[in-house]
Amino acid sequence: MKNLSKLIARLAKFYGKPKPPLTTDPFELILFESVAYLVTDERRAEAFELLRKTVGTKPHQILAATNNALLRVAELGGMQPEKRAARLREIALIAMNEFGGDLSEALQLPLTKAKKALQKFPSIGEPSAEKFLLFTRSYPVLGLDSNGLRVLLRLGFGEEKKNYSASYRSVQEAIKDQLTDDYDWLIDAHLLLRHHGKELCKTNRPLCEKCPVNKVCAYNITEMIHHRGHGGIDKTD
């Protein structure tokens, strides 16, 4: 399938309208990304809410927090809590030192510079920076997480390359002429692609038989031909 708006419409019909992101504040988005590791979305949201409630989500509040308070949050967020608690403090320090505690001006920089500014934070690459610019409605870009990227690659947008960022750029190149500047649509597209990647289009053994776009999916069609070639699922054709 090469028509992005049709694809998003089908996913929306199948899954329903996605819940909006928990925050649209740029610093909170960075904290949300960093507060947990390899846990469910629900657990990440819990850890983030605990941070909001017990510490606060302003850089100066995080810097003033006790180690124990940050550790309690980080423990809820999964493995290696000490590292993550220190990471939260590091993020707050960068926000204070590089941005005077307020990221709003950075979002107004020209696109490339705005992305670079956000990438000053640890573990924030171009895809996350683009997602933040989208969720804060600063630039109409379709930042994709690894789920969204996998889904679009399998459906035939762009090509899998030697490394993640080259694959990411290839997909972005393939979709760029189909993007609109409708933030609601772009945010829904991000969330639906991510959700589809987590629910059905999983990394290993995607559940193609249940997928609402399986008839137009390059990956699925190739798999079916492959199976037929091996005397698999459909010998009657």
- Site residues, ligand SF4 (CB under 6 A): 151, 154-155, 200-201, 206-208, 211, 213-214, 217, 219-220
Q: How far is the CB of 206 from ligand SF4 (least distance, A)?
A: 4
Q: How far is the CB of 3 from ligand SF4 (least distance, A)?
A: 14
Rg (CA), the chain: 20
Considering the complex, state which of residue 70 and residue 153 has its C-beta at the smaller distance from ligand SF4.
Answer: 153
Considering the complex, state which of residue 37 and residue 219 has its C-beta at the smaller distance from ligand SF4.
Answer: 219
- Dist CA 125 CA 165 (whole Å): 9
> 7 to each of 31, 141, 144, 150, 214, how far by Cα in Å?
31, 17, 15, 14, 11
Q: How far is the CB of 16 from ligand SF4 (least distance, A)?
A: 17
Considering the complex, state which of residue 147 and residue 172 has its C-beta at the smaller distance from ligand SF4.
Answer: 147
Nearest by Cα to 38 from 161, 160, 125, 146: 146
Q: How far is the CB of 102 from ligand SF4 (least distance, A)?
A: 40
Considering the complex, state which of residue 34 and residue 214 has its C-beta at the smaller distance from ligand SF4.
Answer: 214
Contact 148, 194 (CB under 8 A): yes
Q: Is 37 helix (H, G, I), strand (E, B) or coil?
A: strand
